[in-house]
Every structure is written in C-alpha cells, then in structure tokens.
C-alpha cells in the first residue's frame, strides 16, 4: 500500500525578498481588484496585472533564460504563488499557461513551439486553456470522443470540450483528442497545440450563478492544423496529460483559494472574539498548515523529476474540502448581513455560490478518490 511520502526540503534563502517583491507589486495594483472575486482569484483574469508580473520576472521562474525564463527553483516559484494567492490577486489570465502549458511545451514540444509561445507566456502576454473534459464524459478523460485524423500533411480536429476555464481570453489550447480511429479508453489519444483563432474553433460562454464568465464550451468543426501541431508523441497523450495533472492538482491554489476569507474573518474578530470563534480560527489555521506541508512536499518531488500523482490528488481532495468548508463555517460562527458591502460579507456571499465548483477543477471528487483508492490498494 502506498502512503503519502514527505521528503525533507528547505525554503530558499531568497524567500523573504521574493515575498516583499510580490507584496509591493500587489499594493501597486490592488486598487483595481474586484472585491468579491478575490475569493476566486486564480480564475479571475487581469491581463494588466499578469503583464506586470511578467515584467517583474515573476512568471516562467523555473524556465531557461533561452525561452524567457529566469532559472529559479521550484520552491522560489512556490513562494511567489503563495504570496499572490494569500493576497487574493487576480492571476487567472496567465495561471494555466504558466503552471502547465509552458512546462508541457518545454518537456514535450518542438523547438518551434517553444520559441513561438513560451517567451510570450513568461512575459504575461500569452494565455492558454486546457481541453480535456467533454459532454457526457466529465472528468473521465479516457472517455474522450473528440477526434483528430490525418489528411495529407494536416491534422483535422472535430468534437467538443466543456468546462474549459479561460478559453474566452486564451490564445492557445492544449487539447486531448482521439487520434487513432477505433481505439478505446487510454489508448490512441494525442495532445495538440491549437491557436484559438484557427478557423473552425468556436468558444461559447458558460455563465455561473454569480453572473461570472469563467467556463466555456469549445467546439471544433473541421479544424485544420499543420502536422507540427502535435505535442509530444502520437498516441502518448494519456501519459502526457496525466503527468501534467500532477502540476494542476497539488499547487497552493488547492487550499488558498479562500485564504482571504480567513484573513477578513480574523480582521473582523480583532475587536473581540468568543471561545467558539477562536476555536474555529485555530482549527482552520492548523488545517491550512498541514495542507501547506503536503503541497510543498509534492512541489519538491515534482522539481526533483518525480511524478507523485497519488500525493497530488490527495492534496487536491483535502484542499478542496477545506476551502469549500470555510464560507459556511464563518457564516455559522459570526452574524453576517450578506446584503452588506463590507469585505467579509461580499466574500462570504460570493464564495457560497462558487465554492461548489472548486472540486470540479482538475478532476471531480469521484475521479480523484478513485485514484486514491487505487493507490492505497483498495480497488
């Protein structure tokens, strides 16, 4: 039976300076941040802020300077992400491109793909989305029906992706398509790099309960791509996509989405708190600390070239449960007027509407618990 493995790691000496650098940048732009949406900051886009991060050298931190990166460590990048999320900064424009797309291209992409797209991502000017989930299949990636077929020296794509975060502001998508006719489940899948202005691509909005537009449907109708749109090895898309998911599932965004709620709750209690409120703060901070240790342990192993997929989904499942529980716990601990314009009331009211979606991102709870069960030898 596999268990959660935590190997020793040390925070970089540069951490204090990096934290101050991020805090100064946030303070410069904070007047523009939308108050309520700060409770869901890593899907909230602000291209101006993303460009400012790129100019400050805070994107593409671990990549080679040859591609616009800064050759810093994974833990230095982790420090920056923590600060951005704790400050509830709107980082949604560049988040997926910086977290997944560029690392995928640097590992599996062609030299032309790297040179064309990665420097723009490091500058905070090129944004990306992920094309995985499909209607009727949800997060069961092995049920992908969207297909890619060869036509001479071209690929022709048809199908539909759904729940695609940020497609409406993205320049490119990394999409998973069935490239071998008649194949089933994990076999015969390939990844493609798709510029979203290609003829035949249609992006349609999915508006959530709050009226926000984060998710999309993306349609592919005879989309013709050059042969070099293939990313990595034909037929190896499943392996590539699942390795990429460890990056998505284990980061600090899995437990810090609602951090600003806890910050504002503590600020509200500064005038006096009862024993129950203090117990709640203590419990939430303790859980937060444990999740941080787990997430950083996964980050250290990913940086070492390992793929701790089981540990990554554990972080995602526990982290999602933690951040989904915070709004309700605070609402039960203190009297709130959710129609008021105060920061805590705005954040709680907004979070209660969007928190159910947190466990959909990066794989539903049913999918990730199935992975945990297999890892523990229970199925």
| Enzyme catalytic residues | 248
CA atoms within 13 A on the CB side of 357: 20
Decide: residue 303, CB within 10 A, 0-12 exposed, 13-18 middle, 19+ buried: middle
Closest CA to 257 of 64, 75, 41: 41
Q: What are phi and psi of 190, to 5 degrees?
A: -140, 155
**Tokens linked to 128:** 């990306």
Q: Nearest-CA neighbor of 95 among 54, 64, 56, 136?
A: 54
Burial 355-364 (b: 16+ CB within 10 A, else e): bebbbbbbbb
Please check whether residue 151 is in contact with residue 223, taking contact to mean a CB–CB distance below 8 angstroms: no
Q: How many CB atoms lie within 10 A of CB 74?
A: 17
**CA–CA distance, 323 with 214 (Å, rounded to integer):** 19
């Amino acid at each position: 039976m596999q268990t959660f493995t935590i190997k020793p790691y040390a925070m970089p000496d540069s951490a204090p300076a990096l934290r101050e650098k991020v805090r100064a940048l946030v303070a410069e732009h904070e007047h523009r941040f939308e108050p309520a949406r700060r409770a869901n900051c890593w899907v909230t886009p602000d291209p101006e802020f993303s460009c400012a991060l790129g100019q400050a050298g805070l994107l593409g931190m671990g990549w080679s300077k040859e591609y616009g990166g800064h050759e810093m460590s994974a833990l230095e990048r982790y420090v920056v992400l923590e600060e951005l999320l704790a400050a509830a900064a709107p980082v949604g424009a560049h988040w997926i491109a910086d977290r997944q797309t560029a690392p995928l291209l640097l590992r599996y992409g062609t030299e032309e793909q790297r040179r064309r797209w990665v420097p723009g991502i490091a500058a905070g000017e090129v944004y990306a989305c992920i094309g995985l989930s499909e209607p009727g299949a949800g997060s069961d990636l092995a049920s992908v029906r969207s297909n890619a077929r060869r036509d001479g020296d071209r690929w022709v794509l048809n199908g539909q992706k759904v729940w695609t975060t940020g497609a409406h502001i993205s320049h490119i998508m990394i999409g998973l398509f069935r490239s071998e006719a008649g194949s089933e489940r994990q076999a015969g899948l390939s990844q493609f790099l798709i510029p979203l202005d290609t003829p035949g691509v249609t992006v349609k909005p999915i508006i959530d309960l709050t009226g926000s537009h984060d998710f999309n449907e993306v349609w592919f109708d005879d989309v013709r791509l050059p042969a070099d749109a293939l990313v990595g090895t034909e037929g190896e898309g499943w392996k590539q996509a699942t390795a990429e998911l460890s990056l998505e599932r284990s980061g600090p965004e899995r437990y810090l989405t609602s951090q600003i709620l806890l910050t504002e709750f503590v600020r509200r209690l500064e005038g006096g708190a009862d024993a129950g409120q203090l117990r709640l703060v203590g419990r939430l901070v303790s859980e937060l600390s444990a999740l941080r240790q787990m997430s950083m342990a996964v980050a250290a192993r990913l940086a070492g070239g390992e793929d701790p997929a089981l540990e990554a989904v554990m972080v995602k499942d526990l982290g999602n449960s933690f951040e989904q529980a915070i709004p309700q716990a605070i609402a039960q601990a203190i009297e709130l007027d959710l129609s008021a314009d105060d920061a805590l009331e705005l954040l709680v009211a907004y979070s209660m509407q969007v928190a159910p979606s947190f466990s959909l991102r990066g794989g539903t709870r049913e999918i990730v618990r199935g992975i945990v069960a297999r890892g523990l030898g229970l199925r």
